[in-house]
Amino acid sequence: MQKSGRKTRSLVTGGAGFIGSHLCERLIERGNEVVCVDNYFTGAKANIAHLIDDPYFELIRHDVTFPLYIEVDEIYNLACPASPVHYQRDPVQTTKTSVHGAINILGLAKRLKVRVLQASTSEVYGDPEVHPQTEDYQGNVNPVGPRACYDEGKRCAETLFFDYHRQHGLQIKVARIFNTYGPRMMPDDGRVVSNFIVQALHGEDITIYGDGSQTRSFCYIDDMVAGLIRLMESSGDETGPVNLGNPVETPIRDLAGQITTLVGGGASVVHQPLPADDPLQRCPDITRARKLLEWEPTVALGDGLAKTVAYFRDVL
């Protein structure tokens, strides 16, 4: 991709994380120059090690809660721990990353007069009373619960993005990301796909919280990255928010069954109580993404899980 006869210079905050590293990789493949910023709170150099020798890739260790001074053409703001295990480890820092980070990145975009995309989350819907969730649904979030540092932090970040758009005319894009999985997930991130795969590969019992009837919608990483890029490159009038995720619901107990089949062995299932504020249903309505971005997931769950299991076999 070219900009005025040269490569587009893309900034990806949180670029050494799970989604961020795949985004950096895809942007390099598309011909962009990429600046990856990460403080390694949950990101890892191993995720982007294969890019470091590329002359069009630059890595900066930086915490977005502090201002960043750099010249770029577009910004993807992905910086924030995204799994409950990690964002509850330091909830104050999680809120700071979402809120102070957004202020700093928006200030940078305002100074440079460039487009900026916010990686928001389905968690802004909380434990939804509307199903599936459309972008117009305002959510059912507990503002004082253990997940609020992430849920409310991301909601506040969206507020800041839209206020910068209204007050300063900034070109913004807001993506609400639903459950995403694939290679480079952290083994200890506490997410259901990685938990089940790691437990199965270690020959341990698979832990299901509740009776397993709760549902999630799983989007493979390649599909998610394609959606983020399409949103960034969409018409300047389209701010979002736009749901990005897989609209096919999967009960947690069915996911466990698929993973045990892929891994093999005789792992058993054990049940534990549901965590506080854990949603019972989570499924995106992606009508807006289909219409505005001509985007929808293409990787079937079985195919994506097979690639993810293969990755974990190599790294564990």
Q: The domain spanning residue 171 has which CATH number?
A: 3.40.50.720
In a domain, 98, yes or no: yes
Segment 26-34 shows an average pLDDT of: 98
In a domain, 242, yes or no: yes
Residue 293's pLDDT is what?
97
Mean pLDDT of the chain: 93
Q: Is 91 helix (H, G, I), strand (E, B) or coil?
A: helix
Determine the structural domain holding residue 20 and report its residue range.
2-181+220-247+283-298
In a domain, 92, yes or no: yes
Q: Which of 87, 150, 181, 220 is catalytic?
A: 150
DSSP assignment of 21-88 equals HHHHHHHHHTT-EEEEEE--SS--HHHHGGGTTSTTEEEEE--TTS------SEEEE--S--SHHHHT
* Mode of pairing for the β-strands spanning 172-177 and 242-244: parallel
In a domain, 191, yes or no: no
Residue 184's pLDDT is what?
97
In a domain, 314, yes or no: no
Q: How many structural domains are present in the chain?
A: 1
Confidence category of residue 266, pLDDT binned at 50, 70, 90: confident
Confidence category of residue 81, pLDDT binned at 50, 70, 90: confident
In a domain, 36, yes or no: yes
Nearest to 121 by CA among 300, 10, 284: 284
Segment 96-119 shows an average pLDDT of: 98
Residue 128's pLDDT is what?
87
Does the pLDDT value for residue 66 go beyond 90? yes
State the Cα–Cα distance between residues 114 and 105, nearest whole angstrom.
11
Residue 86's pLDDT is what?
77
Residue 82's pLDDT is what?
80
202-229 confidence digits (pLDDT tens):
999 999 988 888 889 999 999 999 999 9
In a domain, 215, yes or no: no
Does the pLDDT value for residue 189 go beyond 90? no
Identify whether 76 is a catalytic site residue.
Answer: no
Whether the bond between 132 and the residue before it is cis, its omega within 30 degrees of 0, is yes
Segment 19-46 shows an average pLDDT of: 96
Residue 280's pLDDT is what?
79
Q: Is 148 helix (H, G, I), strand (E, B) or coil?
A: helix
Does the pLDDT value for residue 136 go beyond 80? yes
State the Cα–Cα distance between residues 230 and 133, nearest whole angstrom.
21
Q: Over the range 24-35, which residues count as b (16 or more CB within 10 Å of their CB) and which as e?
A: bbbbbeeebbbb
Helix (H) or strand (E) holding 310: helix 301-315
